[in-house]
């Protein structure tokens, strides 16, 4: 199949989408409305200022599908609005302009127009800009400096906005680890140090309108290989979570963030918390936008459950996952495997097989 160029301005007007974007019938979204999922909402301000009692239903949700919502989070609404304005400004640029920040093979940051450079079929109907958000000493200006270095001085303001946004997301994500630690029966601060100096990532997502939304997906079914995802989606909506064998829609909330557990965090909890299986659908009427922040530990930190968690489970029980580093899982998904519902099973098999080449078939 010939390579395709994903130019959102052009393809959003096409009556028929290219075959590379058509998903198999068993994975394409069903026609009609999807029922909404009922998820617990964490009042983070109350949790942090109070006794640290885990809100009702959060522990069960983490164990069942790895998904909940956080409100009263302390992120300035003006900062969110500014982040969306900059998102709109960036994706409105001509394709050639955006490709100045093109994501290089094997990297997890930069501009990607539907990952056409990496995959040949089952392509997502979206374009993204991913930003490295390191928290190590000396990297305080990494995001702002990236915009100027790669795109030029005219993007300085955009870099400042996303630097502030990434800083706010880092603080919020670390606060949320206290909720998750409490849900596991650990001391509230038990997980914060694991992420200190982490190598997190922020991603701007733009899902253009599509004339045949029933044939494609904005993002295919997958579990995030990262630790925690903090997502803010606009009023258009489109995020869906698989629970109880059925896809359920996540209603957008302007005042809240969606939080979902990823593969690395599931391994950190020895499988107690579930990595959330989710996808994004598109529509024919309006573009969808979202801001995603992926909390990660430092690249070379070993992912191993805290001793207190292993002691509570009984050390004679076989571990759910072997030790690994975030760098290993990241490189596996960037160089060997396309993230899906079975990423961790494939990753564990890769480790046990000696970390050689992995011949995943293009699906």
Q: Is the pLDDT of residue 288 over 70?
A: yes
Structure tokens at 61: 């949700």
Q: How confident is the model at residue 313 (pLDDT cuts 50, 70, 90)?
A: low
pLDDT, mean of residues 77-97: 97
Q: How confident is the model at residue 361 (pLDDT cuts 50, 70, 90)?
A: very low
Q: Which helix (H) or strand (E) holds 241?
A: strand 239-243
Residues 6+ apart with CB under 8 A from 12: 208, 209, 210, 211, 287
pLDDT, mean of residues 14-20: 94
pLDDT score, position 314: 66
219: three-class secondary structure by DSSP: strand
Q: How confident is the model at residue 316 (pLDDT cuts 50, 70, 90)?
A: low
The answer to whether residues 179 and 72 touch, using CB atoms and an 8 Å cutoff, is no
Q: How confident is the model at residue 115 (pLDDT cuts 50, 70, 90)?
A: confident
Write the pLDDT tens digit of every residue in 229-287.
999 999 999 999 999 999 999 999 999 999 999 999 999 999 999 999 999 999 999 99
Rounded-to-integer distance, Cα 50 and Cα 47, Å? 5
pTM, entire model: 0.95
pLDDT score, position 362: 43
DSSP 262: -
Contacts 24+ apart (CB under 8 A), 108-117: 108/132, 108/201, 108/330, 108/334, 109/146, 109/201, 113/5, 113/6, 113/7, 113/8, 114/6, 114/21, 116/3, 116/4, 116/5, 116/6, 116/20
pLDDT score, position 119: 83
Structure tokens at 26: 């068993």
pLDDT, mean of residues 158-175: 98
Q: Is the pLDDT of residue 360 over 60?
A: no
Rounded-to-integer distance, Cα 359 and Cα 337, Å? 8
Write the pLDDT tens digit of every residue in 50-76.
877 888 899 999 999 999 999 999 999
Mean residue pLDDT of the chain comes to 93
Q: How confident is the model at residue 315 (pLDDT cuts 50, 70, 90)?
A: low
The answer to whether residues 227 and 296 touch, using CB atoms and an 8 Å cutoff, is yes
pLDDT score, position 335: 87
């Amino acid at each position: 199949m010939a390579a395709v160029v994903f130019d959102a301005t052009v393809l959003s007007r096409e009556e028929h989408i290219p075959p590379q974007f058509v998903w198999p019938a068993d994975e394409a979204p069903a026609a009609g409305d999807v029922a909404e999922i009922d998820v617990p909402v964490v009042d983070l301000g109350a949790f942090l200022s109070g006794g640290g009692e885990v809100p009702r239903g959060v522990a069960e949700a983490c164990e069942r599908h790895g998904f909940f919502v956080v409100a009263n989070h302390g992120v300035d609404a003006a900062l969110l609005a500014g982040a969306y304005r900059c998102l709109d400004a960036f994706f409105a640029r001509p394709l050639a302009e955006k490709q100045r920040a093109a994501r290089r093979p094997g990297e997890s940051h930069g501009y990607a127009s539907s990952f056409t450079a990496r995959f040949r079929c089952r392509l997502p109907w979206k374009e993204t800009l991913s930003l490295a958000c390191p928290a190590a000493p000396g990297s305080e200006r990494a995001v702002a400096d990236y915009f100027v270095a790669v795109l030029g001085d005219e993007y300085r303001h955009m870099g400042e906005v996303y630097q502030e946004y990434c800083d706010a997301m880092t603080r919020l994500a670390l606060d949320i680890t206290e909720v998750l630690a409490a849900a596991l029966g650990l001391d509230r601060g038990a997980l914060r140090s694991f992420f200190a100096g982490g190598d997190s990532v922020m991603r701007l997502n733009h899902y253009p309108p599509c004339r045949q939304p029933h044939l494609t997906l904005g993002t295919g079914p997958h579990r995030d290989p990262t630790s925690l995802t903090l997502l803010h989606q606009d009023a258009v909506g489109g995020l869906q979570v698989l629970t109880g064998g059925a896809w359920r829609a996540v209603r957008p909330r302007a005042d809240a963030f969606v939080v979902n557990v990823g593969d690395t965090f599931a391994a950190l909890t020895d499988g107690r918390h579930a990595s959330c299986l989710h996808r994004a659908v598109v529509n024919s009427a309006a573009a969808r936008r979202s801001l995603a922040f992926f909390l990660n530990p430092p690249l070379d930190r070993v992912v191993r459950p805290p001793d207190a968690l292993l002691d509570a489970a009984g050390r004679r029980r076989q571990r759910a996952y072997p030790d690994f580093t975030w760098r290993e899982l990241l490189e596996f998904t960037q160089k060997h495997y396309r993230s899906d519902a079975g990423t961790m099973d494939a990753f564990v098999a890769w480790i046990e097989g000696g970390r050689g080449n992995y011949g995943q078939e293009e699906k």
